Amino acid sequence: MPDRTLRGQAAIVGVADAASADGTLAGTVRRLQGQMIAEALDDAGLALGDVDGLFVNDSPGWAPSLELAEYLGIAPRCTDSTQTGGSSFEVHVEHAAAAIAAGLCDVAVTVYAATPRSDRARGGGYRSGQTVGATATAEWELPYGLRMPLGAYALAAARHMHAFGTTSEQLARVAVDARRWAAMNPRARLREPITVDDVLASPLQASPLRTLDCCLVTDGAGAVVLTSADRARDLRRPPVFVLGAGTCHTHAMISQMPDLTVTGATVSGAQAFAMAGLGPTDVDVVQLYDSFTITVALLLEDLGFCPKGEGGPFVAEGVLGPGGSLPANTTGGGLAYTHPGQFGIFLLVEAVRQLRGEGGDRQVEGAEVALAHGSGGVLSAMATVVLGTEATR
């Protein structure tokens, strides 16, 4: 069993995120990074001069943490540019909690910003299938017509359907419930209600996934501030303690995934729960990476919320939506709220707000334990964080 020495030693004390109903944000990526850090520090009641740990995975330039620190005018004594895609920020929380517990830093910040929707309008930005430079995917997968990243998830969905009888109707309910949450979020990109039939009638993108099975492409930004549990208790907001964390990556290319129906969340989730001394039944609200509807079903199984192969029937019951037994992705998630390319930072921000009782119309009553789980690459890199309102139990 993993060492529990990190349990409750660090806390998230400030959060901020930026998204809009039209999917665009004003300003450059660098400006948005600075804005998010300033807002998250203000949320915590801290100042930029307090920051001595900087965690950033993706940034203009060649050295993300170095160049961002220079822009901010700070000199961190702990720096981390770990890049695992959309799960990077959950990894950063794990690393920051360990650094704080070891005395390597006192106040840590992780931040993300991207503007793919605005970039596309300007004639640039991400295009499906785009690969920059010489990569293994470019050499071994794209020549066979695999549409990336969508095609990778379509392969996983097709395999899950073949192995377990999962249906498109079942997966569609994930998108339907995401819209139900988004309807209560004025900043969400897609707030109009949809039905299972609407999802099934949307254009096929990569069989068996359709347009409404897929995440958004929007601008977005966010930041999270952590410090020691002792210092956290004296700050502006109620602390949200890091109770457990775990990471596991199993492959880079989808063709090298050991089993298309099993992700590294089986390892990261088990480690996070063991460190926290908790289990799936203790979780009040979950924030799961929903790049595609199949992603949610796989993660629910691998994190232990339902048995392997039963993700389809589980989500089909509406358990993830408002009033359900497992409230999930309460912003509307990447399917309906925002998705600027790497959604993991927003999972943490919303988990914290739910535990602080700041969810407004979408608040989950009595939430004391939350799970935020990031998925990076093509189901490649998994990172789980368990958060709670109490450091000890």
Model confidence at 139, in pLDDT bands (50, 70, 90)?
confident
Q: Residue 247: what are its φ and ψ, rounded to 5°? A: -135, 145
Q: What are the tens digits of pLDDT across the range 75-88?
A: 999 999 999 999 99
CATH class of the domain comprising 10-121+215-388: alpha beta
d(CA 198, CA 100): 47
Over 60: is that where the pLDDT of 154 sits?
yes
Neighbouring C-beta atoms of residue 171, cutoff 10 Å: 29
- Percent of the chain residues topping a pLDDT of 70: 95
Q: Which of 71, 144, 153, 337 does the annotation list as catalytic?
A: 337
Judge contact between 128 and 147, C-beta under 8 A: yes
Average pLDDT over the chain reads: 94
d(CA 261, CA 111): 31
d(CA 337, CA 335): 6
pLDDT of residue 145: 86
d(CA 175, CA 329): 11
pLDDT of residue 392: 65
Over 90: is that where the pLDDT of 107 sits?
yes
286 or 123, which is more confident: 286
Model confidence at 313, in pLDDT bands (50, 70, 90)?
very high
289 part of the active site: yes
337 part of the active site: yes
Q: How many CA atoms lie within 13 A of 250 on its CB side?
A: 21
Model confidence at 60, in pLDDT bands (50, 70, 90)?
confident
Over 90: is that where the pLDDT of 3 sits?
no
pLDDT of residue 143: 87
Model confidence at 62, in pLDDT bands (50, 70, 90)?
confident
Mean pLDDT of 362-383: 98
pTM greater than the 0.75 cutoff: yes
d(CA 110, CA 226): 9
pLDDT of residue 393: 59
Model confidence at 131, in pLDDT bands (50, 70, 90)?
very low
Judge contact between 374 and 86, C-beta under 8 A: yes
Per-domain residue ranges of the chain: 10-121+215-388
Mean pLDDT of 309-314: 98
Q: What are the tens digits of pLDDT across the range 323-340?
A: 999 999 999 999 999 999
pLDDT of residue 132: 44
Q: Which of 126, 144, 153, 289 does the annotation list as catalytic?
A: 289
pLDDT of residue 133: 56
